[in-house]
């Protein structure tokens, strides 16, 4: 699905690209607008701010407590959230940003039945 715009209470989001484990969305967030506190089970969530200021809060579990890791991203800046971490964003001024989502494959995703080797050929 591409070029789909959805209105949100905080502004709108437009899907630019969604294929092969990568999604790119353009978001417009009004000053003071914020998204829900949420997490993605498998997706990384990268934010690039074209203009404005976006406050991204990541809720990191630490020794039984939750630490709020707050990053303010200004025009030209970026940050990302790892999968399975609750996070939210808030616009400190009218903001246009791009969200890029992706899934990383497990490099150890292999189950060997027989180990490879070398055979002497005559």
Query: Which CATH class for the 4-102 domain?
Result: mainly beta
Dihedral, CA of residue 88, residue 90, residue 95 and residue 99, to nearest 10:
0
- The encoded tokens of residue 55 equal 């406050």
Q: Where are the domains of the chain?
A: 4-102
Q: pLDDT of 9-46, one tens digit each?
A: 999 999 999 999 999 999 999 999 999 999 999 999 99
Compute the average pLDDT of residues 77-96. 98
64 pLDDT above the threshold of 60: yes
Find out whether 97 and 47 touch, Cβ atoms under 8 Å. yes
Report pLDDT for 2.
62
Neighbours of 20 (CB within 10 A): 8
Compute the average pLDDT of residues 57-74. 95
Query: 84 vs 14, 53, 71, 73, CA distance in Å?
Result: 23, 24, 18, 21
70 pLDDT above the threshold of 90: yes
1 pLDDT above the threshold of 90: no
H or E element in which residue 23 lies: strand 22-29
For the chain, give the mean pLDDT. 95
- % of the chain surpassing 70 pLDDT: 98
């Amino acid at each position: 699905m591409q070029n789909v715009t959805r209105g949100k209470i905080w502004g709108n989001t437009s899907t630019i690209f969604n294929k092969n484990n990568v999604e790119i969305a353009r978001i417009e967030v009004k000053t003071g607008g914020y998204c829900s506190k949420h997490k993605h089970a498998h997706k990384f969530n990268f934010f690039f701010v074209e203009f404005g200021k976006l406050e991204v809060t990541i809720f990191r579990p630490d020794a039984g407590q939750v630490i709020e890791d707050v990053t303010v991203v200004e025009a030209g800046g970026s940050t990302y959230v790892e999968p399975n971490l609750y996070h939210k964003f808030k616009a400190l001024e009218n903001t246009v940003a791009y969200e890029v989502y992706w899934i990383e494959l497990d490099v150890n995703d292999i189950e060997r039945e027989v180990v490879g080797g070398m055979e002497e050929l005559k």
